[in-house]
């Protein structure tokens, strides 16, 4: 281990959505003990760190992203002792543990919000963002608390099950005759980060978990914390979008720098990876801060995730990431998570593509994040309308993880799992079946992670694109005297391997389909090393 390189730069992260990983107590919902029992799967995969989505006390309006106590475990998932056992076991097995942290909002059931809404004079009132009705003079009309009197034109994030328009980002509180702001559900009122008491209370929640041994935090809606103090209307071209997807305010940066100070002051220091859900990579870049005032160590960068399976688009997004982040700000790469349709499904369902995408993801310059189940080649589950529960319509990617082919798929006997199983869970798409298939996608992921671990060029080297035929994305990775070539064929026909790497040896192929001498098959990817 090179001590000059922080661990999270060399790491591969594995995201666990705890409801969906493994149930051990028979309620049909995954739990912390289910994660502990399956740590060996993650170790064998070769990942270095976990990111665990929220398991805090919550009424579950947004499945845990509505936190009613930041410093306790929801009984659905276990208790603090379970968490302590999990983190100890993870550390013993060499895995770092990063947990979700949801600073932009609390649950409306949080004690802070109950106090805040109890009266306009409550000492907690100013912890949230309240506004009066829009007056007649400001263009308001209608009875108090009616849509004609909304404070501004901001929209919240979720259209609701089956809905297709976004609701207002304000909810009327009839007890105190004011609106409160929520970027997400009405059950998720936004905290007022301009209030130093809020910042101090939230910093305490970080210390609570650092003292329990966590290695870092995935910061939910990191770009959302600062709000326009004037709460001005958005211009017409932005007004139809949820405000959470475009809120990019200078006010946020000092808050993140302050949080970074809290993490750095702890022994050992912890890291944070921010969810900066903004449309362009240059915007994302700013959330790393600067050398003299650092903010996030890592940030998610979603433009590549939203790229279709298309070599030219991918090349443009990778190059833009390289140039916008530059040498100092370390990139991250992610294809799937709990908010998006799984990439195998997005790319049309083909296993070959999912396998080629794995080679792409794990050979770019930066820290990759895997979403539990992608190593099995899972597709989204088909969720019938009456089974859908997520206000954002994201149920399909959150389907439970099948551990074996049995009826319960390795989950405790008891209530059925909270969502339907993903396709082929009784066939090839479970951990046991994939274990047994040395040509399967699970073993491909293991080979790729092992190759990464063994190659300084893959972990830390430069990324330079190679001239290649249309439909190919090819690059060289280079560190010291270690070199690798990567060729990904996004097209539907075989293509010539670019000349620079044409004679190189195949270290990992996404699949074994032969394409003929000097060719790469359709939807195939190759990791190459120089012939000696
Ligand atoms: C982003 C999280 O990833 C998503 O699942 C959640 O609904 C919103 N933030 C609100 O917390």
- Residue 102 CA: which ligand 1 atom is closest? 11
Q: Whose CA is nearest to atom 2 of ligand 1?
A: 220
Pocket test for ligand 1, best of 339, 389, 390 (most atoms within 8 A of CB): 339
According to the model, what pLDDT value does residue 2 have? 52
Which two three-digit tokens encode residue 96? 């770092």
For residue 53, report the distance from its CA to the centre of ligand 1, in Å: 10
Widest distance between CA atoms in the chain: 80
According to the model, what pLDDT value does residue 1 have? 46
CA distance readout (Å), 266 to 96, 262, 289, 464: 16, 7, 20, 37
CA distance readout (Å), 75 to 27, 29, 81, 177, 338: 11, 11, 11, 35, 21
3-state secondary structure of 478: strand
222 contacts 275 by C-beta, under 8 angstroms: yes
- List all residues whose CB is within 6 A of at least one atom of ligand 1: 62, 65, 102, 184, 220-221, 275, 338-339, 392
Query: Range(s) for CATH 3.90.400.10 in the chain?
Result: 111-181
Pocket test for ligand 1, best of 108, 184, 334 (most atoms within 8 A of CB): 184
Q: At a CB cut-off of 8 Å and minimum separation 6, what does 438 contact? A: none
For CA atoms 175, 177, 181, 182, the dihedral sign is positive
For residue 462, report the distance from its CA to the centre of ligand 1, in Å: 33
- Residue 394 CA: which ligand 1 atom is closest? 5
pLDDT score of 4 more than 90: no
Q: Do the bridges between strand 56-57 and strand 69-73 make them parallel or antiparallel, or are there none, so unpaired?
A: antiparallel
Q: At a CB cut-off of 8 Å and minimum separation 6, what does 449 contact? A: 12, 45, 46, 47, 362
Picking from 525, 519, 522, 511, the residue whose alpha carbon sits closest to that of residue 474 is 525
Give the containing element (helix H, strand E) for 70: strand 69-73
Radius of gyration of the chain (CA): 24
Lowest mean pLDDT across 105-109, 163-167, 236-240:
163-167
Read off the pLDDT of each residue in 426-438 and give the average, rounded to a whole number. 98
For residue 313, report the distance from its CA to the centre of ligand 1, in Å: 26
> Hey, which bits of 199-312 come out as E strands?
216-219, 271-274, 289-290, 293-294, 298-299
461 contacts 444 by C-beta, under 8 angstroms: no
Read off the pLDDT of each residue in 278-294 and give the average, rounded to a whole number. 97
pLDDT score of 236 more than 60: yes
What's CA 219's distance to the chain center, in Å?
A: 10
Give the containing element (helix H, strand E) for 496: strand 495-496
Round to whole Å and give the CA distance between 414 and 141.
Answer: 54
Round to whole Å and give the CA distance between 25 and 318.
Answer: 43
3-state secondary structure of 514: coil
Round to whole Å and give the CA distance between 528 and 154.
Answer: 50
Is residue 436 exposed (0-12), middle (13-18) or buried (19+ Cβ within 10 Å)?
A: exposed
Q: Tell me if residue 275 is catalytic.
A: yes
For the stretch 436-447, pLDDT in tens is: 999 999 999 999
CATH 2.60.40.1180 fits 462-529, yes or no: yes
φ, ψ at 482 (rounded to 5°): -100, 130
- Residue 337 CA: which ligand 1 atom is closest? 3
- Residue 62 CA: which ligand 1 atom is closest? 7
- Residue 105 CA: which ligand 1 atom is closest? 11
For the stretch 323-362, pLDDT in tens is: 999 999 999 999 999 999 999 999 999 999 999 999 999 9
Query: Range(s) for CATH 3.20.20.80 in the chain?
Result: 7-106+196-224+268-448
According to the model, what pLDDT value does residue 3 have? 58
For the stretch 356-385, pLDDT in tens is: 999 999 999 999 999 999 999 999 999 999
For CA atoms 253, 49, 35, 388, the dihedral sign is positive
Q: Whose CA is nearest to atom 11 of ligand 1?
A: 65
Helices (H), 365-464: 431-436, 441-454, 456-460
Picking from 447, 439, 490, 445, the residue whose alpha carbon sits closest to that of residue 469 is 490
Round to whole Å and give the CA distance between 467 and 456.
Answer: 23
According to the model, what pLDDT value does residue 122 have? 98
Query: Range(s) for CATH 2.60.40.1180 in the chain?
Result: 462-529
Q: What percent of the chain has pLDDT over 70?
A: 99
For residue 222, report the distance from its CA to the centre of ligand 1, in Å: 11
> Per the residue annotation, which of 275, 374, 380, 507 is the catalytic one?
275
Question: Does a cis peptide bond (omega within 30 degrees of 0) precede residue 319?
Answer: no
Helices (H), 286-430: 311-325, 343-346, 351-363
Read off the pLDDT of each residue in 168-184 and give the average, rounded to a whole number. 98
367 contacts 12 by C-beta, under 8 angstroms: yes
Tokens 């092992």 locate to: 450
CA distance readout (Å), 40 to 52, 95, 250, 384: 16, 10, 43, 33
- CATH code for residues 111-181: 3.90.400.10
3-state secondary structure of 206: helix
Round to whole Å and give the CA distance between 45 and 40.
Answer: 8
Q: At a CB cut-off of 8 Å and minimum separation 6, what does 298 contact? A: 8, 271, 272, 273, 274, 330, 332, 367
According to the model, what pLDDT value does residue 165 have? 87
**Confidence label for 291 from pLDDT (cuts 50, 70 and 90):** very high
CA geometry: angle at 16 spanning 317 and 318, to 5°? Answer: 10
Q: Whose CA is nearest to atom 10 of ligand 1?
A: 65
For the chain, the distance separating the N- and C-terminal CA atoms, rounded to the nearest angstrom, is 27
Superfamily of domain 7-106+196-224+268-448: Glycosidases (3.20.20.80)
pLDDT score of 532 more than 90: no
For the stretch 22-56, pLDDT in tens is: 999 999 999 999 999 999 999 999 999 999 999 99
CA distance readout (Å), 338 to 243, 426, 477: 20, 22, 30
Round to whole Å and give the CA distance between 5 and 16.
Answer: 25
Q: Tell me if residue 375 is catalytic.
A: no
Of residues 39 and 161, the one with the higher pLDDT is 39
For the stretch 481-517, pLDDT in tens is: 999 999 999 999 999 999 999 999 999 999 999 999 9
> Per the residue annotation, which of 220, 374, 395, 523 is the catalytic one?
220
């Amino acid at each position: 281990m090179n001590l000059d390189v922080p661990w999270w730069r060399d790491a591969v992260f594995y995201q666990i959505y705890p409801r969906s990983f493994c149930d051990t107590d028979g309620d049909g919902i995954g739990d912390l003990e289910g994660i502990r029992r399956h740590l060996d799967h993650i170790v064998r995969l070769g990942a270095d760190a976990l990111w665990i989505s929220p398991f805090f006390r919550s009424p579950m309006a947004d499945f845990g992203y509505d936190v009613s106590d930041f410093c306790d475990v929801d009984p659905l998932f276990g208790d603090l002792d379970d968490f302590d056992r999990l983190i100890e076991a993870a550390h013993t097995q060499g895995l770092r543990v990063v947990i979700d942290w949801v600073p932009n909002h609390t649950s409306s059931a949080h004690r802070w919000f109950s106090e805040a809404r109890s009266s306009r004079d409550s000492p907690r009132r100013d912890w949230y963002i309240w506004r009066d009705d829009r007056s007649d003079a400001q263009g308001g009309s209608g009875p108090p608390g009616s849509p004609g009197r909304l404070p501004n034109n901001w929209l919240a994030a979720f259209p609701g099950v089956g809905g297709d328009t976004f609701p207002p980002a304000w909810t009327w509180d009839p007890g105190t005759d004011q609106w409160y702001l929520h970027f997400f559900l009405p059950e998720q009122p936004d905290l007022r980060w301009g209030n130093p008491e809020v910042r101090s209370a939230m910093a305490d929640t970080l210390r609570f978990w650092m003292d329990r041994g966590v290695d870092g935090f995935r910061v939910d809606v990191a770009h959302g914390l600062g709000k326009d103090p004037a709460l001005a209307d958005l211009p017409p071209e932005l007004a139809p979008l949820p405000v959470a997807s475009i809120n990019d305010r200078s006010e946020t940066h000092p808050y993140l720098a302050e949080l970074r100070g809290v993490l750095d002051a702890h022994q050992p220091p912890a890291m944070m990876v921010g969810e900066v859900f903004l449309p362009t990579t240059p915007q994302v870049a700013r959330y790393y801060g600067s050398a003299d005032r650092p903010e996030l160590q890592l940030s998610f960068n979603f433009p590549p995730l939203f790229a279709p399976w298309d070599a030219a688009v991918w090349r443009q997004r990778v190059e833009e990431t390289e140039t916008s982040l530059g040498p100092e700000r370390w990139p991250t790469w992610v294809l799937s998570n709990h908010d998006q349709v799984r990439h195998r499904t997005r790319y049309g369902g083909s296993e070959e593509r999912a396998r080629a995408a794995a080679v792409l993801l794990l050979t770019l310059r930066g820290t990759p994040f895997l979403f539990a189940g992608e190593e099995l080649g899972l597709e989204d589950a088909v969720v019938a309308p009456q089974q859908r529960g997520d206000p954002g319509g994201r149920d399909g990617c959150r389907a439970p993880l099948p551990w074996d082919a049995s009826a319960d798929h390795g989950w405790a006997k008891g209530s059925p799992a909270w969502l339907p199983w993903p396709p082929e869970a009784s066939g090839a798409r479970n951990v046991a079946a994939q274990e047994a298939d040395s040509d399967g996608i699970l073993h491909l992921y293991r080979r790729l992670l092992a190759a990464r671990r063994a190659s300084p060029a893959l972990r830390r080297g430069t990324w330079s694109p190679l001239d290649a035929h249309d439909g190919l994305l090819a690059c060289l990775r280079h560190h010291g005297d270690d070199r690798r070539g990567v060729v990904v064929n996004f097209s539907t026909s075989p293509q010539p391997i670019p000349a620079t790497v044409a004679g190189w040896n195949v270290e990992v192929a996404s699949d074994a389909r032969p394409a003929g001498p000097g060719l790469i098959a359709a939807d195939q990817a190759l990791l190459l090393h120089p012939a000696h």
